[in-house]
Structure formats: structure tokens, C-alpha cells
Amino acid sequence: MGQSQTSRMGPPWSQESSPGEGLPTEWRRQWTRSRRVLLAVLICGLLLGSSVLWVYIFRNCGPRPCKTRVCLDLLAHYLASGNRSVDPCTDFFSFVCAKANGTSNSVQTLTDKNKSQLWKLLETPRSWHLRSGEEKAFQFYNSCMDTDTIESAGAGPLQQVIEELGGWNISGNWTSLDFNRTLRLLMSQYGHFPFFRAYLRPHLAPPHTPVIQIDQPEFDILLQKEQEQKIYAQILREQLTYLNRLGTLLGGNPQKVQQHAAWFIYFTSRLFQFLRPLEQQEAQDKLFHVVTINELQEMAPAIDWLSCLQATFTPMSLNPNQTLVVRDLDYLRNMSQLVEEELLTNRDMIQSYMILGLVDTLSPALDSKFREARRELRQKLRELKERPPLPAYPRWMKCVEDTGTFFEPTLAALFVQEAFGPSIQSAAMELFAEIKDAVIIRLKNLSWISEETLKEALNKLTKLQVEMGAPKQDLKPELAKEEYSDIQLGPNFLQSFLSCSRSLQGRNVRHFLQPFPSHRWTGSPWGVKAYYSVSDHVVVFPAGLLQPPFFHPGYPRAVNFGAAGSIMAHELLRIFYQLLLPGGCPACDTHVLQEALLCLERHYAAFSLPKMAPFNGSHTLLENAGDIGGLAIAFQAYSKRIAEHSGEMTLPTLDLSPYQLFFQSYAQVMCGESSSQNPQDIYSPPSLRVHGPLSNTPAFAKHFRCPHGTLLNPSARCKLW
């Protein structure tokens, strides 16, 4: 019986009876109903509570609008440069870049903004602790801005220069000096090269020692091109009017001026006929020639090459066996023969040709009459070619540019101190590190790359150097005093300009001759062009590029990754352009690689470019690949970033999600005029640099909800990177 009771009672944890057990049946029914009501109330409460919790989480952990000053300025910039009535799925370029009066140009806008910042720094020197070397930069700028003194001097400073060169036959007395003596003075003292160009550059082959390169001249007076044949006569008339004006401003007899101006155009056109297009030189395998000074002297004897080059590139020590790199030997031969012929019968005309060219070169440093003559010529030529007029070019901008050219170390230090402090540089380096990690992941997942090539590629990335902001030597103020010691300012602005020009030329030569511990920058720190140097294996991002609207530590991360991040990724991919060239990756799966490249070529060829002449897609293939890969890598890095870190922001009232803002900021970098395209340009037109990569990015179509088959959501895409 005891066992029977125990069995009925069950295990100890089930011995407690239910609340309704032992009660009448009606009471049990009421208890059941009450329990159901309580359960329903509990469920409703849980649902309501979770809803409140979800709203709280969304509001506090979802994208927050950035309302700081830098974000509001960026918002204003975006709203001012886009046409929101356009469908982003069919014309994202207009959606981002179109304005009421044309198309915004982001790179030019940032360039002008950086110059404006330099202008403010130069206008307030008292706020800086200047040393004696740096003071010369501010003195030069102030003398450039002192237009009253420049106007009062008139043509006098230039006439003095002409007299030192022997004068000319159209005004006053002239002395028939030795032709090569005049040419030597023009090249070394005035930086004017009337018949050819000569400059120092690193040798293409290791150890990249400095070499003098001789190139075809860059004619400042524009001449006939095939597309300008219909207006050729009008162009010549405008150029003749301009040259007549220069000669008259210098006190020349109008009849003689007209005679010499006409001969100037005749002689220039003869030289112009000797030029050969770059494609023709490449086709004949004559792009570069290595010759000694002696050999060049035999081929082009009219020029005393040793004395002219020695004077120009002092303190280099040259000898007849010095090797040179020559761009086009045929041009130099023909030029020399023509000069020799004209020296026999028209020595005064040759002198006049060189002087008029110098006057045109120096006109920006002269009074307003010379500057206005040059500006009017440019405007007339643009009108004839049906191009928009040149924008206003204020005096301060020219003075800032010249000061920056002659005193770059000083302006670099001031600009970096003002616009690229340690916190900005640290944020930029952090962004670069994330982009670099994304490149590594991409390389490891390429379908066409071999294990051996991948190992080499990763090794290259490991050894890559990165420089941001400004060259390290520019940030050492003690160097400024040494750099500018030979500059003599005065007695007039032209003489100051010439002294600065000579100092810069000597400085460049000395720098080339000295062992250099790091990479020599090819642009200014306030410039906006990033680049990769193959010879030094370094990638450079100047401080001027890492500025609003392309980058700021206070921006939403979508903006920095979309704009600056895509630029960084593009520059990193340049390291691997060689792999995409024919025979550049023999160990790779060349079939897969070539299929991807052909797909890319067809992908870009499918876009129509209204109001534009056709362009050569083969010249842009590598940069198209860089654009597509840069966008894909930046997007991958951004997606990884927001997956690992909360707190993303967006711009208020723009009605764009963070991912949409990423693509907006990418396209904003590419904004520019698409009306004209140089056939030799390595970049596609701006609209194609937007639509090409975006149409190859499935995430763009997803986040903008583009219908299948629209321009930016095509049925097929290319897989290269």
C-alpha cells in the first residue's frame, strides 16, 4: 500500500498541484479563461516593448545625420552640383554633376579652393613666425600684387632685357650678336627655348641617374591642326594682330613690326611642319634616341650644343661624350638646316624671332597692356573654335601660382600646417591601410592570377612606400634660407621674377646631382593629383587632394571611402597594370585575363557619348580597369568597415542611405566637362568614368533599386579584379 501511494504521488518535482486542482468545475473554467487573458496581455506587452526597443536601437545605432559645419558644407556642395530630377539609374553623372549653367568640375574646384587657402596665408604673414628665407616668399608675392608699381614701370624693364640681348631691328638700335651667344643667354638666363626644349629627368633604366632630354618645342603660338583648317586664316590673322601689338607696345615702328611679325609666323610654320605626331614616332620605333653631345653636334650643327647646355644646366659638368636622350632626331636635323639657311640671309629676322618669343613668354610678368593682349588672343582663338570663354583669372591667383613655383618649400610648410595637421594625416593613413588590405584580399581571389605572380604582387605591396601631405624636406624650415640665398628681389618685378626663375633652375639641377634619400615629388603639396612612381615604388597623396569635399575626418565614412578611398585603390592598382599588358603575365591564365579585358573594352564601347567626337578606347583601357577596380575595392573596404564598426553617419536632407552616399561621393570626384576629348588622353570622358564602373557594380543597382536592363543595371558585367 505504501508503494501504491508513492507511485500515485509521482516524483518529488511534480508533487505540487495546479492552482485550480480540487476546485469545482465552474471555478476551473473561470481560472482557465483568466489565464488566457493574462497570457494575451503578456504577449502584447512583450511585442510593444520590443517595438519600443527596436525604435530606440534604430534611432541610436542606425545612420545618424551629420550636422557639423564640415558636413553641412559638404551637403551644400552636393546639392549645388547635382540634378536630382534625373533618374540615377539612367544618368547618374547628371544626377551628381549637372548644374544649371553646365557641369561641375570637382578637381578644378578643389584646385581653386587650395589656391584660395594659400592666398589667405600669403595675405596674413604676421600670423606666422617667419625666418629670413621665408620672408622672400612674402616679399615676392607682395611685389607681384603691387600692380601700381608694375604699371608705372611699363615696358621699361623688358626693354632693358632686350638691350642686354643685343636689341632688335624693329625698335631702336640693335647689335648683330653671335647667334649661339643669344640662344645661350635665352636658355640659361631667361628660361626661353625658341627652337627645342631641354630639361633634366631621371634616366628610364636603373639606377635612374639624371639625364638631359631634348624634345620638340611647345609652340605657344597655336598653329594649324586638321580640325582647324576652315578657320586657319582667321587664326593666323589673330596671331598676327597679337604680335603686332607686342611690337608696338615696345615702341616699334608699325611698318617694321608688321614685317617682323609676319616673318615670325612664317618661320614658326616652317618649324611646325617638321613635327611628327607621337603615334608616327612610335610606329617607326623612333620615340627616344640616346646620343652623345658630339653626335648631336654633327647631326644638327647650327646649335652649339655643349655651350648652350652647359650654361643651362650649371653646375653639371658636361663634355662632348655626355649622353643625351632625344625625342625626335629628324626634327632637330631639319630645324638646324633651316636655321643655318636663314642665318645667311635673315640674321636680323632670326634675332627678332627669338626676342618676340621671349616677350610672349614674359608677358605675364609685365604690365596690364601686355597681359591684356595675351588674354584677348586666347579669347579670340577660343571663340573661333567655338569653345566657352576663359573664366576670369584674378591677379591674386597668378601671384599665388608664381610664389608657389619659386618658393614651394615655404608654401608647403604653411599649407600643411594649416590644412593637413596630424589628426587629418592619421585618419588618411588609416583609410589607406584599410584600402590596402582590401587590395590584398582582391588579389588573392583573382581567377586569372597564378600563385607565383600572386606571391610577387603581395611582395610588391609589402615593399611599397606611401607619402602623404608634403615632401619631408619641405617641412624643414632651416632649408629655406639656403634654398633662396641666391634670389635678388628688385629693382622691378620683372627682375625679381627672372632672379627667382634662375634660382629655381639652379636648385633643380643641384637637387638632381645630390644623392636623394627619398622620392622626388613631381607635383606641389597643395596639388590634387595622386600618382604612383614606378622607379621609386612609392605612391604619393598630396595634402591638397585629401581635403573637403574628397576627405575629412569628420565626414561620414561613406564619403571618405567613396571619394578618397577609390582614388587610393586606383593608385595601388597601377602597380599591377603591367600584368594587363600583352605578355605582361606569362604565368597567368591568359585566356581568362584576355576575355576579361575584351569584355571591359566592349562594356565601355557600348556607351554613347552625345555631343562628343569619338575617342580611342584602346588608349583608355588601363585607366578604365583602374576605375572599375578602384571602385570595387573601395566598396569592399567600406562594407567591411561598417560591418565591424557601428555609428555610421549620413548627410541630413539628402535622402541617401550610407551606401548610396558612397556611390554619390565616388561620382563626385569624376565630375568634369565632357565636351572635348584629346585622342591621346589615357582617361575616358568624365561621364564614362562614372557610368562605366557603376554599371559594372551590382551593389549600385541594388542600393538604388535600378530596374533590370537600365543603363546602370545591365544584363552582363565584366570580372577583371
pLDDT tens for residues 214-264? 998 887 554 545 446 678 788 888 999 999 999 999 988 899 999 999 999
More confident residue, 555 or 277: 555
CA proximity to 685, closest of 693, 697, 675: 675
- Tell me the three cell numbers of residue 707: 530596374
Cα 238 to Cα 215, 224, 353, 370, 481: the distances in Å are 27, 13, 18, 15, 45
CATH number at residue 591: 3.40.390.10
> What span, in angstroms and rounded, lies between the C-alpha atoms of 636 and 161?
60
Query: Is 70 exceeded by the pLDDT of residue 720?
Result: yes
Query: Is 80 exceeded by the pLDDT of residue 570?
Result: yes
pLDDT of residue 511: 85
Cα 643 to Cα 399, 569, 648: the distances in Å are 48, 20, 10
Question: Hey, which residues does 168 pair with through a beta bridge?
Answer: 171
Among candidate residues 91, 295, 434, 571, the one labeled active-site is 571
Query: Is 50 exceeded by the pLDDT of residue 483?
Result: yes
If asked whether residues 217 and 339 sit together in one domain, one would say yes
CATH number at residue 302: 1.10.1380.10
Query: Is 80 exceeded by the pLDDT of residue 205?
Result: no
Whether residue 108 is contained in a domain is answered as: no
If asked whether residues 211 and 331 sit together in one domain, one would say yes
Query: Is 90 exceeded by the pLDDT of residue 172?
Result: no
Whether residue 271 is contained in a domain is answered as: yes
Whether residue 645 is contained in a domain is answered as: yes
> What span, in angstroms and rounded, lies between the C-alpha atoms of 313 and 332?
20
Determine phi and psi for 160, rounding to 5 degrees: -65, -40
If asked whether residues 587 and 444 sit together in one domain, one would say yes
Query: Is 60 exceeded by the pLDDT of residue 302?
Result: yes
Write out pLDDT tens, residues 315-344: 899 999 999 999 889 999 999 999 999 999
More confident residue, 472 or 481: 472
> What span, in angstroms and rounded, lies between the C-alpha atoms of 385 and 389?
10
Cα 201 to Cα 209, 310, 356, 526, 711: the distances in Å are 8, 16, 29, 22, 45
pLDDT of residue 673: 82
> What span, in angstroms and rounded, lies between the C-alpha atoms of 311 and 35?
105
Whether residue 111 is contained in a domain is answered as: no
Reported confidence tier of residue 476, pLDDT bands at 50, 70, 90 = confident
Q: How many domains does the chain have?
A: 2
> What span, in angstroms and rounded, lies between the C-alpha atoms of 702 and 366?
58
Whether residue 667 is contained in a domain is answered as: yes
Exposed/middle/buried for 183, CB within 10 Å: 0-12, 13-18, 19+?
Answer: buried
Reported confidence tier of residue 670, pLDDT bands at 50, 70, 90 = very high
Query: pTM of the predicted model, to two decimals?
Result: 0.84
Residues 6+ apart with CB under 8 A from 150: 366, 367, 492, 493
Reported confidence tier of residue 5, pLDDT bands at 50, 70, 90 = very low
Whether residue 7 is contained in a domain is answered as: no
pLDDT of residue 612: 56
pLDDT of residue 60: 46
Reported confidence tier of residue 549, pLDDT bands at 50, 70, 90 = very high
If asked whether residues 318 and 438 sit together in one domain, one would say no
User: Do the Cβ atoms of 81 and 96 come closer than 8 Å?
Assistant: yes
3-state SS, residue 220: coil
Reported confidence tier of residue 149, pLDDT bands at 50, 70, 90 = very high
Mean pLDDT of 612-621: 69
Mean pLDDT of 665-677: 83
Reported confidence tier of residue 285, pLDDT bands at 50, 70, 90 = low
Residues 6+ apart with CB under 8 A from 710: 89, 90, 701
If asked whether residues 88 and 214 sit together in one domain, one would say no
Whether residue 524 is contained in a domain is answered as: no
Boundary of a domain, candidates 345, 377, 403: 345
Put residue 13 in one of left, alpha, beta given phi > 0 → left and psi -120 to 50 → alpha. Answer: alpha
627: annotated active-site residue: yes
If asked whether residues 312 and 442 sit together in one domain, one would say no
pLDDT of residue 6: 38
Among candidate residues 342, 360, 623, 627, the one labeled active-site is 627
Tell me the pairing of strands 649-650 and 64-65.
Answer: parallel
The share of the chain scoring above pLDDT 90, in percent, equals 65
User: Do the Cβ atoms of 528 and 107 come closer than 8 Å?
Assistant: yes
User: Do the Cβ atoms of 373 and 246 come closer than 8 Å?
Assistant: yes
For residue 539, the surrounding DSSP H or E stretch is: strand 538-542
ω into residue 409 within 30 of 0, thus cis?
Answer: no
- Tell me the three cell numbers of residue 220: 605657344
The share of the chain scoring above pLDDT 70, in percent, equals 83
For residue 290, the surrounding DSSP H or E stretch is: strand 289-292
Whether residue 649 is contained in a domain is answered as: yes
pLDDT of residue 59: 42
pLDDT of residue 624: 96
571: annotated active-site residue: yes
If asked whether residues 586 and 440 sit together in one domain, one would say yes
Domain range spanning residue 576?
68-97+429-457+569-609+621-674+684-703
Of the candidate ranges 54-63, 282-291, 293-302, 371-380, the one whose mean pLDDT is the lowest? 54-63
Reported confidence tier of residue 210, pLDDT bands at 50, 70, 90 = confident
Arithmetic mean of pLDDT over the chain: 86
